[in-house]
Amino acid sequence: MTQKIVIHERHGALLDAEEVGTVFRLLSENLPGRTHNAKGPKGQRTPFRSAIACLLSAQSRDANTAKATEALFALADTPETILELGDDEIREAIRPAGLYNMKTKRIRALCETLLVEFGGTVPRTRAELMRLPGIGRKCADIVMHFVFDEAVIAVDTHVERVCRRTGLAQGVNAGKIAENLAGRAPDWALDEGHFWLIQHGKRTCIARAPKCPSCPVERHCLARRTA
* Shared-domain flag, residues 173 and 203: yes
* Shared-domain flag, residues 211 and 129: no
Q: Is residue 10 part of a domain?
A: no
* Shared-domain flag, residues 213 and 121: no
Q: What is the CATH number of the domain that holds 183?
A: 1.10.1670.10
Q: Report DSSP letters for the chain, one per residue.
A: -PPPP-----TT----HHHHHHHHHHHHHHS--S-TT--SGGG-SSHHHHHHHHHHTTT--HHHHHHHHHHHHHH--SHHHHHTS-HHHHHHHHGGGS-HHHHHHHHHHHHHHHHHHHTTPPPSSHHHHTTSTT--HHHHHHHHHHTT--------HHHHHHHHHHTS---SSHHHHHHHHHTTS-GGGTTTHHHHHHHHHHHTS-SSS--GGG-TTGGG-HHHHT-
Given 105, 124, 146, the domain boundary residue is 146
* Shared-domain flag, residues 45 and 33: no
Q: What is the CATH number of the domain that holds 78?
A: 1.10.340.30
* Shared-domain flag, residues 133 and 67: yes
* Shared-domain flag, residues 27 and 61: no
- At 62 the pLDDT is 86
* Residues of the chain where predicted confidence (pLDDT) is lower than 50: 1-4, 42
- At 45 the pLDDT is 74
* Shared-domain flag, residues 54 and 100: yes
* Shared-domain flag, residues 140 and 124: yes
Q: Which domain does 109 fall in, by range?
A: 41-146
Tell me the C-alpha distance between 30 and 217, whole Å.
10
Given 125, 146, 167, the domain boundary residue is 146
Q: Is residue 5 part of a domain?
A: no
Given 146, 174, 206, the domain boundary residue is 146
* Shared-domain flag, residues 188 and 97: no
List residues with catalytic annotation.
Answer: 138, 156
How many domains does one find in the chain?
Answer: 2
- At 1 the pLDDT is 38
Q: Is residue 7 part of a domain?
A: no
* Shared-domain flag, residues 174 and 116: no
